Structure 1
Amino acid sequence: MTNLKVGGVPEHFNYPWYLTLKNKKYTKENINLRWQDFPGGTGAMCKALRAGEVDIAIVLTEGIIKDIAAGNPSKIVQTFVETPLIWGIHVAKDSKFKKIEDLEHATIAISRYGSGSHLMAIVNAFNQGWNVDKLKFKVIGNLQGGIDALTNGEADYFMWEHFTTKPLVDNGTFRRVDNCPTPWPCFVVAVRNEVLENNANEVKKVLDIINAQTNNFKEIEDIDKILAKRYEQKLEDIQKWLKITEWNDGKPITKNLITRIQNKMVSFNVIEEKKNSTEFVKNMYI
């Protein structure tokens, strides 16, 4: 039995992993796969990959590209979610800020440096034509930290996935002033290099199992109701999310895609220079 640890955010995107684990699909392939929730998001997972605390991570594309460029000994083996992530831009319910233009000099709550909430705040600033060098950040750890920071005035706005934060908008904790979609596929599967060298066949089996699950995920009977109940979402919000979300059907990630994403990240000042795309990708199907 091969032991592997996989990490991801405890959000609706990763429910297919829960189903495959519940149905013991990895055990049937002699793989003991263990899931770990990372409410702190991509920054926390990058740190865990570096430390060898997880073997596989379902991470935001921009975060892992930046971290591999900075020396994370991992590779992207495929995209997980092909469609963009919609980031909601939130302020406290009674905030003086009313529209996106008001936020140019405001303090941004981020889970950690290198996280999606950090990098997408930079992307949003570029979209708005703001001076990125003058952005002010407050590290808050996770979603609860963002709620606390906005509520007590330590930060002015906070970017997090639109549907995950929708209940907080509905109950008046947050007010959403705008949305900012990622200009690339949002989630990828990253694996530590050591695991790719020693357990390539097992990693392939894991990918085959999860891709088979996501391939027919939307056809599962009452999946909208199941997700709405599990993640405490309104049914119409989950239905809207399912409509705009597409998972990878097993295609390997291309070097061209990594190059295009790097070009955008350089233009957004998220990374300083473009690197050879072979440093980021491992094609499991050659």
Structure 2
Amino acid sequence: MRDESERAELRRRIYGTGDLAAKPLFAGGFINFGYWEGIPLDGELTVEHRIASQEALYDVVLDALEIGPGDRVLEVGSGRGLGAQRVLRRDPAHVRGVDLMPEQVARATEANDDPRVAFVQGSSDDLPLPDASFDALLSVEAAQHFEDIGGFAHESARVLAPGGRFAVTTFFTRTDDAGTRLAELLKTFASGLDLAHRIDDVLRDLRAAGFADVTARSVGEHVWPGFDRWVALTEHPDGWGRNWIRAVERGLADYFLVTARKPAGSEA
């Protein structure tokens, strides 16, 4: 696997100077695998289905956070800002997005003209935001890139107000040796674009940062079958992308919704 500086440059080429969201695999500008519940997988899949799956993944997270009127919301790994637009449907007080890539911040800023929304460049383990300034924090399919999950957990606890809610969804690994085995199946793990964060370690880091009610729920049954079908349609039908579902079947990884809460009365 490449070292941290090489991984950073790789991500810059893919998400910054490049634009992964422009690929048919991620139709509509979102960059996530999608949540396909309610979308028929035994017939024709359209671009509209694909976009709906990616919007639905955001809705699962926003429902878990119980986003409502007046909430101050932060998204870490905000990409092109389409997630922020989804949050605005819940009538928050404001939405802030943090992304590591300045190019993504620029794209998101250009695409959003609502005065309640703003985007800044920053790292998940060094958020450029004040203490206790948000009621809810989300991250959708970005944490697999984070170099320091423990740092992200501590920064999330710092910027959330007491009683603040936390929700992350992405793919995490299940076993200690999953990283090596996934690198044999999937180019993104072989290159270091994706990192093998074990779900049990993620939960441990959140508890160490002071979070309570830390839970992880697999939502893979609503992610993998639909994403695999879309991969087969938009990429080579026998290409490496089909190995995602094989990795899941071998028990190496799964897609999780992780939630937590900052205890009321706790300090940043």
Same fold (TM over 0.5): no
Question: TM-score, normalised to structure 2's length?
Answer: 0.36
Of structures 1 and 2, the one scoring higher in RCO (CA 8 A, sep 6+) is 1
TM-score by length of 1: 0.34
